[in-house]
Structure 1
């Protein structure tokens, strides 16, 4: 799972800081802290995904209700990113960031102690909101302190290291289930949240002094949002990435039931498979980055969409007529995840290229749409219960098809920017 877009509009519009001041404040400790901030959301999700069947059993609930905890988390993430950026533009970065981390930590403790699925669902929403708030402020701090090539290098480091979280998370979650109880994963998230709070206190200064803070906040953000949503190319690539995100999280929400409950994999074996699939997605994204400027980005997106659609159709056929055999599920899941490594990052890049005057607003709206899509799809994918993959496979197929429609019907090659370094073209 790729990290969500953030909201740096105001920071990118401010005049450059003196070089000496940048070097004095943009420290390795600060960058490492922001890396941890970007990792908290995938860790908070992926560590307990292998435990879905155990959570359903212990809390006496259904697969759909357990998957609803993903929905509330993702909706919280979307709202946290959408609101946190403008608020920090007004109030500064450090205090809102510390508050968000403390709330994230407290919500993890509530999840660890949750006596019912209702309590856990509510706590997951709060955890997602605070986590999204922290992520958007972390990115804004980097944009405050870096410019030009330095900014690109630091953001690439953050994205590259942060991309390990979806790989490590499920493995760690599976190991926890082997040695302890699923609730321990939330205690671990709480410890990490507390550690990040201390790291911010030590390593992260206030990066937005009062004279550079922005008035207008959410009101200005709404006006800019209307502008970007009037851009047809932007909306088309928003559909490309948002629909692909929905297909991806149909897999995330239900794969534990498909592979463990229906096919008998152990939690640890499932975690290994999940990590392998996340590795495929990360590798595809890295290959795509290497091809930028040499191969059309639209062609890379279309390749990913065709592969995802083929995986969805094969999975649906297997669910309807073959009883979802293990080998078919494993292969289809790997193809799907790898394909989304071509589709989601590139779709987001072309969406941003379509609205160059509003980079932060465009990124914030992207993050909102993608996480809402993820949260909406997660419970729907589990409507059939723990013993059928038909709803999940249907959603994967529909998501891939919708993503392709966004590319072919709403965008045109001429709407891209051939002179940009992201490799667009015919």
Structure 2
């Protein structure tokens, strides 16, 4: 297999490429966050309508994975990946040239669909190359690299607003993806040999998805991960308005706060990988779910008590960074529950759950007007559903041997 793949010299080098591809999601969602108030002002659109540009992207990121994941199982990883990157460049140009909020919504939807290719294929390629604890370690490495995007994207977006308007931000994103397309063309090789591909086109793809939907262990982890990520996207969609308009932060100050949480995501991913080796993935996952509920409950209390900004930021930090603990372990366990031939379809369903549920959670933060309380309640609700679904499907395992 490794001879076929023609891997770069080290695992880290290959992880850098796959991590950058996985980072297309955060780049889509986070780079323009500091500019959301400016977009609302330029298009004279309500906050709730401007938030739909994020919702459209999340829907695209989710639904697109149902296209690119199974397609890669049939046609191969490399060809599918390069096609998605070309579409991303076109959609990014559309965002740059949009003349009203409706055109921007359509372009953002297409951008999300295209960006899903890099996300779903980075997971599928990793599944082609690794298994067991090695796969968990590699996913943790991907999450560490991927975590640079949530750190750098809003900071870069905030600094770019000193020089250009929001259109310039999308122009920079177009340039970034052009460079990534070139790197992928030169470095990424096929990891799914023709004899392991799934023939049969759309009918076979739908059959694979139906089989996965009936696979209880996989779906339990898939939905638990999806609702946890939905809570984080509630934070992503509302935090720029909450922290800038309600707490008075500048775009640069907001981006720095956002970056601190991104650093936390990186650190938590590495902690999860280490603890998984010692305690077992299931134990670490369950601990992450408990931490998520605890942190989100404190965040709701902070909103009810109109807590000062430092306390709010501390609660937000733990409410957000716990996603790395749950994500690293749940995705690894879910992907190990399926065969390599279904890796693309499984990765697609994981991505669909994350981004589609995330798209649904964002509008809830704007009910009655975006506020600290609506954001925190949405986060807590998503985490509570994740815990309930996990418990209903898997139970709460207490023996170490079962956590491996």
Q: Please tell me the TM-score bracket, short chain as reference.
A: 0.7 to 0.9
* Match for residue 262 of structure 1 among 225, 240, 246: 246
Q: Secondary structure at the match of 2:401?
A: coil
Matched, 1:171 2:155: yes
* Match for residue 253 of structure 1 among 222, 231, 237: 237
The answer (yes or no) to whether the contact 2:143–2:328 under 8 Å persists in 1 is no
What are the within-5 Å matches in structure 2 for residues 37-48 of structure 1? Answer: 37-48=21-32
Specify whether residues 350 and 418 from structure 1 end up closer, same or farther in structure 2 by C-alpha distance, changes over 3 A only. farther
Deviation digits for residues 371-421 of structure 1, max 9, x if unmatched? 1111111122123324x22321221111121122123333125699937xx
Q: Secondary structure at the match of 1:385?
A: coil
Range with greater deviation from structure 2 (242-251 or 35-44): 35-44
How far off its partner does 1:207 sit? 5.6
Deviation digits for residues 243-302 of structure 1, max 9, x if unmatched? 111111111110111111000111111111111112112212211110113225444334
Q: Secondary structure at the match of 1:292?
A: helix
Specify whether residues 78 and 415 from structure 1 end up closer, same or farther in structure 2 by C-alpha distance, changes over 3 A only. farther
Quick one: distance in 1 between partners of 2:124 and 2:291? 35
So what's the TM-score if we normalise by structure 2? 0.87
* Match for residue 325 of structure 1 among 280, 302, 308: 308
Quick one: distance in 2 between partners of 1:403 and 1:347? 11
The answer (yes or no) to whether the contact 2:73–2:344 under 8 Å persists in 1 is no
What are the within-5 Å matches in structure 2 for residues 71-86 of structure 1? Answer: 71-86=55-70
The aligned counterpart of 2:335 is 352
Q: Note the residue ranges of structure 2 that are not aligned, 5 or more in a row.
A: none
Deviation digits for residues 306-363 of structure 1, max 9, x if unmatched? 33333333333343452x5322321221120122222232233333344467554433
The answer (yes or no) to whether the contact 1:50–1:174 under 8 Å persists in 2 is yes
What are the within-5 Å matches in structure 2 for residues 176-325 of structure 1? Answer: 176-205=160-189, 213-322=197-306, 325=308
Quick one: distance in 2 between partners of 1:414 and 1:392? 31
Specify whether residues 44 and 244 from structure 1 end up closer, same or farther in structure 2 by C-alpha distance, changes over 3 A only. same
Matched, 1:378 2:359: no
Specify whether residues 200 and 177 from structure 1 end up closer, same or farther in structure 2 by C-alpha distance, changes over 3 A only. same
The answer (yes or no) to whether the contact 1:241–1:345 under 8 Å persists in 2 is no
Quick one: distance in 1 between partners of 2:34 and 2:261? 14
Structure with more helix by fraction:
2
| Number of residue pairs the alignment of both structures matches | 399
The aligned counterpart of 1:389 is 372
Specify whether residues 89 and 347 from structure 1 end up closer, same or farther in structure 2 by C-alpha distance, changes over 3 A only. closer
Quick one: distance in 2 between partners of 1:415 and 1:224? 32
The answer (yes or no) to whether the contact 1:104–1:193 under 8 Å persists in 2 is yes
The answer (yes or no) to whether the contact 1:64–1:380 under 8 Å persists in 2 is no
Quick one: distance in 1 between partners of 2:72 and 2:222? 25
Q: Secondary structure at the match of 1:265?
A: coil
Q: Secondary structure at the match of 2:45?
A: coil
The answer (yes or no) to whether the contact 1:256–1:270 under 8 Å persists in 2 is yes
How far off its partner does 1:89 sit? 3.2
The aligned counterpart of 2:325 is 342
The Cα RMSD (Å) is 3.0
So what's the TM-score if we normalise by structure 1? 0.83
What are the within-5 Å matches in structure 2 for residues 144-159 of structure 1? Answer: 146=129, 152=135, 157-159=141-143
Q: Note the residue ranges of structure 1 that are not aligned, 5 or more in a row.
A: 1-16
Quick one: distance in 2 between partners of 1:298 and 1:206? 32
Matched, 1:118 2:102: yes
Quick one: distance in 1 between partners of 2:231 and 2:130? 35
Specify whether residues 21 and 101 from structure 1 end up closer, same or farther in structure 2 by C-alpha distance, changes over 3 A only. closer
Quick one: distance in 2 between partners of 1:78 and 1:161? 21
Specify whether residues 207 and 255 from structure 1 end up closer, same or farther in structure 2 by C-alpha distance, changes over 3 A only. same
Matched, 1:27 2:11: no
* Match for residue 383 of structure 2 among 400, 404, 411: 400
Quick one: distance in 1 between partners of 2:299 and 2:121? 39
Quick one: distance in 2 between partners of 1:68 and 1:20? 45
